[in-house]
Amino acid sequence: MRKTPGMHFRSFDPAGAAGVLSTLVVAFGGANHALSAAAPEGPAAIQAGPFAITPTTGVEFKHRDNIYLQQNNATDSWIYLARPGLSALLQDRNNTYQLSYKGEAGWYQVSRHNDDNDYFDNTVSGDVHLEFSDRWIAEGVASWASLHEDRGTGLSEGLIGEVLPKPIRYDQGDIGGSLQLGSHKDIGWLLLKAGYMDRQYQNFEELTRGRDRDETAVSATFFHPVAPNTDVLAEYAFKRIHYPNPFEDIPQLDSDENTLSLGAQWEITPNLTSTAKLSYVDKDFKESGREDWDGLGWGLDLLMQPREQDTILVTSARQPEETTLQGDFIKREVLTATWTHQWSDRVYSELGSLLGQDNYAQSFDDREDDILSVSLKVGYEFRRWANVYTGYTYDRKNSNVENLSYRDYVFNIGVELSL
């Protein structure tokens, strides 16, 4: 039976750049892919001395009704995707060292105005997990990625997405680590995290250079056991956001965020963990031309398995995010739910939904976007090394600003292959 990965509270979550909500919708579609990993035995590896080398690949055919995410005059196209992957794992007792590569190439059948919508994204990463004892656990991760923003998302939303001749591209580097001091057997234990992210846009400099940014983040979380497999937690997090190339005559977006959280976490199994947090968030801008904000935030990762063949994942968050083209920042609220059902040893289905709202603080039109995404995916694992799937997704954004609303209908069929 397919196993669904859960949230590991001990693993490092690197400080990364938050995308716009339309990017979240795309990522949510990818969450279905994440929940449908390989067959129970997993992809086979090639032993190369002490390393286990695991190659994977995927091919997908996708049809989108609105590739530029326009409010009017939508353009539809078939998109052909290839996803190569390779990982090398070295394990020494409880310590692991891993290098990974993931790529995605996309070819569009249709474009407008002789546009070039094709892309080739690449991500290289390395991570390490070190267990000095059950009370001292360290993790580190570093990655570099060359990525693109889908047309009509991020810095190319609205009519800009149709005017630009190609997708906006950016390079992003992330590095970070975590240190666990103590364990759930103690009266309390501490989790320390630190991370750094740097994003640099690679084309359309007049539009994008002012949005290059780097983020530095640190956090400390104290856990106190109150019942078997249940802890209460208190957390402090700090993030410094810096824009090195601000536009002239526009107040800079540099800011500091301080977050205090109280919450709880509980384990269904050692690998399946749920967390709920309620937070006070304070965002201070460096320039007086931007308006500071403080308010309530929250985070929820709820994983349920009412039956062995069913897994339900519910996530919710309210937090500030960096703006794209309007306002000082985005007040974002998101709720997602995914239900995975194993009909047999080979057949599974995934039903997902996302509801979100973006409020652009201090924007000229008091911009507010409402987001809805609904998806269904059905897969058939006819071999351990081969998984065939098909799916359908409906995406909708309603905005009170002209030319920013859209609807998109996506059909896809694909295959995932491994050794």
pLDDT of residue 395: 98
Kindly tell me the sign of the dihedral angle through the C-alpha atoms of 91, 35, 79, 391.
positive
pLDDT of residue 36: 39
Q: Residue 215 and residue 283: Cα distance in Å, rounded?
A: 14
- Say which range, 161-165, 210-214, 283-287, has the weakest mean pLDDT: 161-165
Q: Is residue 96 pLDDT above 80, yes or no? A: yes
Confidence of residue 48 (pLDDT cuts 50, 70, 90): confident
Average pLDDT over residues 103-116: 86
Q: Residue 208 and residue 246: Cα distance in Å, rounded?
A: 10
Q: Is residue 367 pLDDT above 60, yes or no? A: yes
Full-model pTM: 0.86
How do 347-360 and 330-342 pair as beta strands?
antiparallel
Torsion angle in degrees (nearest 10) through CA of 207, 116, 32, 403:
50
Average pLDDT over residues 129-152: 95
Cβ atoms of residues 371 and 25 within 8 Å? yes
Burial of residue 133 (number of CB atoms within 10 Å: 0-12, 13-18, 19+) = exposed
Cβ atoms of residues 278 and 261 within 8 Å? yes
Q: Is residue 137 pLDDT above 50, yes or no? A: yes
Q: Which residue's entry shows tokens 């590095």? A: 175
Q: What angle do CA 229, 230, 236 make, to 5 degrees?
A: 130
pLDDT of residue 113: 67
Cα separation values, 271 from 132, 133, 229, Å? 20, 18, 12
Q: Determine the CATH number of domain 21-418.
A: 2.40.160
